[in-house]
Structure 1
């Protein structure tokens, strides 16, 4: 089995933190658009279209990626980009931003299960403890003893986004060192825009909302400013730095650092939207984050990785 590539930890951590902070503002920026009458699919399409437009020169300049890795580009555009964002915004329309994001961020636990069940890598006791903590945290967050106070459909949508987030971490790692992260994000954004366009029908989008001043915190911002922020910062910048982080770290370590996104989203939702979790839900959020971070010990590296049963890597071409 080939030796593990050397991970560049310091710049990788910096990229991971930048990605988490950029992603963290998405739900807060989208909420005023959703409350103004836009459908979740419309907001998601605006987000992807903005990113695709900004990155179109990159996609055109590096078009050979589509020829060399068509399945990677298609999968990246459909699952991590179109899928995660559509499901997340649909969840945000029904449940609080922080709760939706916490549920989405059970994705690293799914990555753990992937490495254990599919890749046949040994799972440490820390990993098992992490999963137990994450499940316990979900019980507290959802307050299941009260008959699931949160909207059940919203919870299901957020968990669907978690599956898509797991795909984001795995596909980004599978892209390999030879794949330009910016080219992958640019091509994926174009795919996501086309796929979502067919589903959302942008011709039915209430474009007048973009000209309206929408409330965010104590200010009122034009809808187009929020849409632009979603496309450029929360998508183009966030995905580029995220892929760059995963390439320099690993999908597991990058997934752990990405929990800064949860903190960012919860703080912004509290300050700008007035959304606050109950004390029990705050405890659940802390337990979920702790469990997900502990579960990062699930994937061995170095000598341990070489001792596992080798399995063919997926050829995403």
Structure 2
């Protein structure tokens, strides 16, 4: 126990990323209750984003209104965050699973850690520790085992493209969460991002057609699953799997870097499998357990790269002090 507490104190970003992935893991299982009650998947996504966005904006307006201020120069960034980091990830994934097995689509989306590592290294030209590369590849390999990617594989060109685009947008979430400056409040970014994504998804979700009476029901999504009130499942999905998950996730990426944060976030798939096993009675087999251990290994490897993060070493050397400073 002392060792675990020591790791959390030493790596607070890792602790935030781990808890965030656990919170995100509830999104899929809780959405199953909404879908079992009569909502379409895209309708469940829209109610999640709209509810979480409204909640965050209202609370911030009351307790921290300055967080909602958007610098005019940052409007394009906020718009891209809502479109790419929130709305596109959700919508592209749900379209992809109409053409690909769910496991394959999930694996393509969570190619994000590798995409982030490649972007940071070759586009941002930031030298990364070898652990970041090895951890990302190990995590993706573990995910392939978890989703049993070799079963039911059928190559659909459009589905493959959509799945990869979902992965690229997921990578964009981590990269954008790592790149904004002090003029942007993370809470305001998340709140407006959720609201913006809900607005973008209105033509697809058509909220005026949502069967709102479904939230008054109590359902059992499958044999062996726990029976829960739909409204309770929805509130948990909004509060824990969205608001808390995004807040912790963005702050974790700010501490860990995008490359490490994306790899640790892949634990969401494992957490989702465990929650689905506990709540909705889905089988947790040998492949899920073995693959989960491999993903965990990749995440632990990646977090060792935080020790070599150059931004953390802000103390100037004597040689640096002797160099002239150029202000652009």
| Smaller-chain TM-score bracket | 0.7 to 0.9
Supply the distance in 2 between the matched residues of 1:173 and 1:56 (Cα, whole angstroms): 22
Find 2:309's aligned residue among 301, 305, 315.
301
Residue 114 of structure 1 is aligned with which of 103, 113, 119?
119
How far 1:214 sits from its partner (Å)? Answer: 1.6
RCO higher in structure (CA 8 A, sep ≥6)? 1
Tell me how far apart the structure 2 counterparts of residues 244 and 135 of structure 1 sit (CA, whole Å): 23
Q: Which runs of 5+ in 1 are unaligned?
A: 1-7, 307-317
Deviates more, 1:221-230 or 1:58-67: 58-67
Match of 1:41 in 2: 42
CA-atom RMSD in angstroms? 3.6
Matched residues in 1 for 2:235 and 2:152: separation? 39
CA contact (8 A) 1:81 1:188 kept: yes
Q: 4+ residue stretches of structure 1 with deviation over 6 A?
A: 91-94, 149-156, 296-300
Alignment of 1:1-317 (within 5 A): 10-57=11-58, 60=61, 61-62=65-66, 63-65=68-70, 67-88=72-93, 103-122=108-127, 125-127=130-132, 129-130=134-135, 133-134=138-139, 136-137=141-142, 140-141=145-146, 143=148, 146=151, 148=153, 159-215=164-220, 218-280=225-287, 282-291=289-298, 294=301, 301-302=309-310
How many Å separate the matches in 2 of 1:21 and 1:135?
Answer: 18
Greater alpha carbon shift after TM alignment, 114-123 vs 264-273: 114-123
- 1:130-182: CA deviations, max 9, x gaps? 46545644554555555528999888765543222211110111112442111
Between the aligned partners of 1:275 and 1:142, the Cα distance in structure 2 is 13
Q: Indicate the structure (1 or 2) with the bigger Cα radius of gyration.
A: 2
- Any conservation in 1 of the 2:115–2:168 contact (CA below 8 Å)? yes
In the alignment, is the contact (CA less than 8 A) between 1:142 and 1:148 conserved in 2? no
In the TM superposition, residue 28 of structure 1 has moved relative to its aligned partner by 0.6
* TM-score of the pair, normalised by structure 2: 0.75
Q: Which moved more, 1:179-188 or 1:54-63?
A: 54-63
| Matched residue SS, 1:65 | coil
In structure 2, the CA distance between the partners of 1:155 and 1:264, relative to structure 1 (3 Å rule), is farther
Q: Contact conserved, 1:73 with 1:187, CA < 8 A, in 2?
A: yes
Residue 271 to residue 144, structure 1, CA distance change in 2 (3 Å):
closer
Deviations 1:205-238 (A, max 9, x none): 1222222212266542232222222222211111
More off after superposition, 282-291 vs 78-87 = 282-291
Question: How far does the alpha carbon of each residue in 1:253-297 deviate from its partner, in whole angstroms, 9 at most, with x for none?
Answer: 323333442332111111112222543454344435544654667
Q: How many equivalent pairs are there?
A: 298
In 2, the alpha carbon distance for the partners of 1:47 and 1:131 equals: 29
Structure 1: distance between partners of 2:240 and 2:299: 25
